[in-house]
Every structure is written in C-alpha cells, then in structure tokens.
Amino acid sequence: MSENKIPYKIYLDESEIPEAWYNVRADMKNKPAPLLNPGTGKPMTAEELGAVFCDELVAQELDNDTAYIPIPEEIRNFYKMYRPAPLVRAYCLEKALGTPAKIYYKFEGNNTSGSHKLNSAIAQAYYAKKQGLKGVTTETGAGQWGTALSMACAYLGLDCKVFMVKVSYEQKPFRREVMRTYGASVTPSPSNTTNVGRKILEEFPGTTGSLGCAISEAVEVAVSNPGYRYVLGSVLNQVLLHQSVIGLEAKAALDNYGVKPDIIIGCAGGGSNLGGLISPFMGEKLRGENDYRIIAVEPASCPSFTRGTFAYDFCDTGMICPLAKMYTLGSSFIPSANHAGGLRFHGMSSTLSQLYHDGYMEATSVEQTSVFEAAEQFARIEGILPAPESSHAIRVAIDEALKCKETGEEKNILFGLTGTGYFDLVAYQKYNDGEMSDYIPTDDEIAASIAKLPKV
C-alpha cells in the first residue's frame, strides 16, 4: 500500500491479535541475570518462586529460551474486548510541529484501566485461576495496575486484594472507587493488617507509605494465606513477555503499510511498557536483521538508567523480595513527588537493564514541567489527554520530530502512548496553575542510597 493511504488510526483485524507472546530473552546473547535468594545469595529456584507466584508464571519468569509462548484462548478472548489497540498516525501533531518526520503512536489507553497494564493483569489472573487459586494480592501506586488487576479478577471471578500507597489512597479516591466497583478490596498501605505494615507504622507513625512498602505487605498476605499468590505489574520478565502484544501489534500495523520506524521511544518506570513496545523490534536488532534507534525516557527525578548503577538490589523496601540485577538508584532511594507515579520506582527491569548495559538502547531523562508542556500540546492537537507517564515519551518524540525539522529528515518516529490522564487531573491542575516544580536529585543523594545496596 502506498504511504499516503495510511489512515489516522490503523486498526488490525481481530484475527490479527497475536497468537503468541514474544520472549525477547530468547534472542539475547547475554541473558538477564537471575533473581537471587537474599538469604542464600543463590538463584531463586522454581520451587522458591512458587511460594510467591503462580506456577505457570514462574515458568515464564525463568524461561530464557522459548521465543514464542502461545497466548491461551481465554486471554485472547479478553484481549478482544479492548484490543487490537490502535496505532495512530499523528497527522495533526506533525502538521502543528511543521516537521517532515512521520509520527506514530501505539495507544494503549482505550480501556477502563486507562493503560497497557491490563495486558499483563489478565494473563496473571488467568494463570492464578487456572491453578485453582482463590485470589491474588498486589500493590498499586498511581492506581493503573490495581485497576487493571481488579478488572481482570472481576472477569474471572477471582478475589483481588490491593494494597494502595496511603498517599494515593487518600489523594486518588476515584481510582480507589473504580477498583471497588470491580469488586477489589483496597487497603491503604502501610496498614495494621500485616506484620511488615505494623512494623513500619510503629517506626514511622505518620508515614504516607511507599510502593516498596506496599509490595512488602502484598507479598506477606500472599504467602501467608492459602490459595493466594502475589502478582506484580512491571519489572518482571513475565510482565515484559505479556506486554509484547503492544510491540507485536504495532509492528504488524506498520508492516501492513510497509513502514519501518527509525526511532522507537517509550517511557520507562519498571519497564513494562517500554519492554513490551520494543520487543519485536529489539528481536530483529539482536538477530542482526534490522537496526532501530531505541530510546528509554525516564523522569529526571528518578533516573535509574541515566544515573543509577547496574547491580543486584531489592525490589521492595521491606527487603523480603528476591534480589534483581538491574539499573537501580538503591531501594532506599526516595524519589521526589513527581506526578508520574508509575515512573517512581528505584529500579528497572532486569531484561531492559541488560539490553541497555549491552548498548542496544539509549536512555534520556526529562523534567516534569517540560513533560506537562508536551502533554498539554499533545492533548490540544491530538485530542487525547495523556497520562503523565506516557507524556515522557511524547516529550522526546516531539523533540526528535523538531530535530528532523532542522535537518529536513523524514524519519519515522514510533512512541508508546501508554495511557490516559483522566485520574491525574490534580497534576494537570498544578501545571495549569503554574505551581509545578522540578526536582533533580543531587549526586550525593544518589550516592548515599547506592552505598546501601546489598552485598552479593
């Protein structure tokens, strides 16, 4: 097909929903380092992981070899309710920028959870159901993951216990109500319902909680209640695997029109969206079939790729989870109150960390006022109010498109629009009122938390 026939939105046919997830690890020469048992310092076994995660998800977590893992029919049926997600050609944005670049974005926000998180939530809930479990536990910060999981559990008739960082629980009552509408129980964390929660409350009575602390509580409830397992919305290999549907669909849509992206851009918190979006492209790059420039965008307030170190670290503050080798700012690093809650995590997916370490992708960090400038511009021109997280990618996509304007290059830019900002209006209000500020951690701050990394 000729390129001028590309529609505003490229929808794949329902039959083009991928039949298998793509596991990028299969094509990596240097595999991501294994999770370690913090007690023994040895790689976690399937049995040890099985106390926390569902069996089939453990298998996926440990499988560095199988390139394609079939998506069960039941999950594909759920996907059909909101997928294929559109690949949008940003004609209006291109025109407004006056750029010769061609901008595409894969929009994952057209579902009630408002983000791509649903892609992994339904997979994890499905395997829990299949294992005959009663329910799952998790934590949520910004609330996107918790919402997605509650939707998946409602669909399958699974119990869903969400520990929501207390400050979000109080400041985002609407997110909480969506989860309750989907039948989840939502507990502000730290809570007095767990040992780790009670301990933290004793030590820090006025604390408003943190993601790391909520993880600890959710894991404790999972391992101490028969019939429950813990699920996590990012960082893990299994999550990147499920999220590969984003990239597979995006690539299929571009392939249908003979378009090859020159630059692929995604925001990066724990890596779920970025890892999913880039996976099939990265596969081609790893196999030497094609080259792509791949850019991870992180907030300047929480710059794990650009200013962290590549080492083993805890994923949670309670230090009860396995150790993961990743780019990290240290699990004791406390990011400033950036409004992109989904990007406020001290570490990064082991898979993406390895790829970044091996030079297969770049990373850059951006400040939040410039991110909201891009968000507002995008909203007015493209008609979608983006999530603050997604807007990190928008910022860099616009910057790259403007560079093309300088050079006259007609590059194809693809970025991931992970979700919508309907529940982030407090942040937009701050921006609209001119009250948004930027905070960049000092070298000393980062050095201090990195100094506390566990010795392995």
Contacting positions for a copy of itself (CB under 8 A): 7-9, 11, 13-14, 78, 80-82, 92, 110-112, 114, 151, 154-155, 173-174, 177-178, 180-183, 376, 379-385, 420, 422-423, 425-426, 428-429, 431-432
Residues near 238 by beta carbon (within 8 Å), at least 6 away in sequence: 53, 57, 60, 61, 120, 123, 124
Is residue 280 reached through a cis peptide bond, with omega within 30 degrees of 0 on the bond before it?
Answer: no
Q: Identity (one letter) of the amino acid at 170? A: E
Residue 279 and residue 302: Cα distance in Å, rounded? 24
Residue 137 and residue 282: Cα distance in Å, rounded? 32
Q: Per the structure block, which two tokens stand in for 316?
A: 């949670």
Taking the least distance from each CB to a copy of itself, the nearer of 182 and 310 is: 182
Q: Smallest distance from the beta carbon of 35 to a copy of itself, in angstroms?
A: 32
Taking the least distance from each CB to a copy of itself, the nearer of 7 and 227 is: 7
Residues near 450 by beta carbon (within 8 Å), at least 6 away in sequence: 308, 309, 311, 328, 329, 330, 333
Taking the least distance from each CB to a copy of itself, the nearer of 51 and 426 is: 426
Taking the least distance from each CB to a copy of itself, the nearer of 34 and 419 is: 419
Taking the least distance from each CB to a copy of itself, the nearer of 26 and 92 is: 92
Q: Smallest distance from the beta carbon of 187 to a copy of itself, in angstroms?
A: 15
Helix axes 118-130, 55-62, angle to 10 degrees: 130
Strand boundaries in 64-122, DSSP class E:
68-70, 87-89, 102-107
Taking the least distance from each CB to a copy of itself, the nearer of 376 and 399 is: 376
Q: Smallest distance from the beta carbon of 167 to a copy of itself, in angstroms?
A: 18
Residue 235 and residue 252: Cα distance in Å, rounded? 25
Q: Smallest distance from the beta carbon of 84 to a copy of itself, in angstroms?
A: 9
